[in-house]
Amino acid sequence: MKRLLAALLVVMMLFTMTACGAKNNEDELKVGFIFLHDEQSTYDKNFIDAAIAACDKMGVTMVQKTQVPESNKCYDAAVELIETEGCDIIFADSFGHESFLIDAAKKYPDVEFCHATGTQAHTAGLKNFHNAFAHIYQGRFMAGVVAGMKLNEMIEAEKITADKAKMGYVGAFTFAEVMSGYTSFYLGAKSVCPSVTMDVKFTGSWYDEQKEKEAAQALIAGGCVLISQHADSMGAPTACETAGVPNVSYNGSTAAACPETFLISSRINWVPYFEYMIGQVQKGEAIDADWAGTLENGAVALTELGKNVAEGTDKKLEEVEKGLKDGTINVFDTANFTVGGKKLDSYKADVDTDAAFEKDTEVITNGIFEESKYRSAPYFDAEIDGITLLDRNYG
């Protein structure tokens, strides 16, 4: 008993002794990252890899906190990163972190707070709180072109008839970020394969491997000959590989696990934003309230093409990329889609965050639906003809 007590005391003493020795280099810029999950999720992995790359390049220290839920724990995480680690910039990667990050931003006016996918920076009135997103619809559109080319190849090979060119899409939730994504993907495919239609199923979760797999299987059973997804697990790609159905992936290449069916993947490359964010602080300049990544600044990125894409895909893709960059192609050109059989002339979107989801801003000018212009996060949520929602899931 005495020996145990002595051992315990020794351990406790060691605790206190070593705790005093905490060292910290005050001069170096430190960036704290708050992640919803960890590298097991393709969504967070995309951020984590970019953070490591950007911090390495800019010569700053990266500190991370993983598995931070969308609650007051996010505030706690920010406090910890600032007070314990001495971070000068805090970045959080999930939509629901936003309000709690704003609380922290109010408490620490000298620290810069950046948040991906959020919507409140342009109305929060805080100098040190910023949102960022990317015009990922451009990437989705290009991935859609790859899908359309593949459908055309199937039609030419008489594997399917033109009216059977139906794609399937596994989405997480029925809201703007996902809707904008699948619509641009569909429009990309439609731009090369006019007869294409699409079925959409929602899982109600950003990460649920089993549900995503089952949704993909149900879509394939329902006659879909090509699958894409906006959810974060390997569920849909592996279901496609098993069934031999081509897949357009998201967040990164799945070619290693699905070599036969992988076509292409679009993703947001966060390195340009992280470099911008760190660079502005190093220069002592202000960070924009809303930053939108594009094809030009490298934030909208596409992976390499899979080995089974249709012939000529690479050439077509170059052409489309050029068109998107110089503005000759507009993804949400209202001439290219109808809603309820009619062309859209006017559309009010819910741009400013409020409890009533008021549709507050006109977003169509000169026949173009201007996605991500009035804030960085997407707001396209019209249900266009040609896309069938098999179910809805609002979470």
Q: Is residue 339 at the binding interface for another protein, with CB under 8 A as the rule?
A: no
Smallest gap from Cβ 70 to another protein, in A, equals 6
When binding is defined by CB under 8 A, the residue of 53, 58, 96, 368 that contacts another protein is: 96
Closest contact distance (angstroms) between CB of 387 and another protein is 16
Window 6 to 25, contacts with another protein (CB under 8 A): 7-8, 11, 14-15, 18-22
CA atoms lying within 13 Å on the CB side of residue 99: 7
Interatomic CA distance for residues 186 and 180, integer angstroms: 10
Nearest residue to 329 (alpha-carbon basis) of 145, 193, 198: 145
Decide: is 109 part of the binding site for another protein (CB under 8 A): no
For 200, list phi and psi in degrees, rounded to 5: -125, 135
CB of 99 to another protein, least distance (A): 5
Single-letter amino acid code for the residue at 80:
E
Q: With respect to another protein, which residue has the nearer C-beta, 319 or 391?
A: 391
Neighbours of 209 (CB within 10 A): 17
- Rounded to whole angstroms, how far apart are CA atoms 251 and 237? 12
Among 29, 49, 95, 214, binds another protein (CB under 8 A): 95
Stretch that binds another protein, among 37-45, 150-158, 285-293, 328-336 (CB under 8 A): 37-45
Query: What tokens appear for 232 in the block?
Result: 């974060």
User: Are the beta carbons of 189 and 167 closer than 8 angstroms?
Assistant: yes
Q: How far is the CB of 7 from another protein (least distance, A)?
A: 6
Our CB check for another protein shows the closer of 100 and 276 to be: 100
Closest CA relative to residue 42, chosen from 240, 290, 268 = 268
Total binding residues for another protein by CB under 8 A? 48
Considering the rule CB under 8 A, would residue 69 count as an interface residue with another protein?
A: yes
198 phi, psi to nearest 5 deg? -150, 140
CB of 316 to another protein, least distance (A): 33
Q: Does 80 bind another protein (CB under 8 A)?
A: yes
Of 38-46, 223-231, 244-252, 367-375, which part binds another protein (CB under 8 A)? 38-46
Rounded Cα–Cα distance for residues 298 and 321 (Å): 12
Distances (CA, A) of 229 to 63, 103, 238: 31, 34, 12
Q: Concatenated DSSP letters for 192-226?
A: H-TT-EEEEEE-SSSS-HHHHHHHHHHHHHTT-SE
Q: By CB under 8 A, what part of segment 147-206 binds another protein?
A: 173-176, 204
Q: How far is CA 226 from the centre of its chain?
A: 21
Among the listed residues 69, 89, 135, 73, the one whose alpha carbon sits nearest the alpha carbon of residue 278 = 89
Among 28, 59, 71, 257, binds another protein (CB under 8 A): 71
Residue closer to another protein by CB (options 71, 161) is: 71
State the minimum distance, in angstroms, from the CB of residue 67 to another protein.
4
Spatial CA neighbour of 148 closest among 106, 105, 197: 197
In whole angstroms, the minimum distance from the beta carbon of 389 to another protein comes to 12
- What are the structure tokens assigned to 102, written together? 């704003």
From the list 47, 91, 100, 276, which residue makes contact with another protein (rule: CB under 8 A)? 100
Q: Kindly list the residues in this chain that would bind another protein in the complex (CB under 8 A).
A: 1, 4, 7-8, 11, 14-15, 18-22, 37-40, 63-67, 69-73, 76, 79-80, 83-84, 95-96, 98-100, 103, 173-176, 204, 353, 355, 357, 381, 394-395
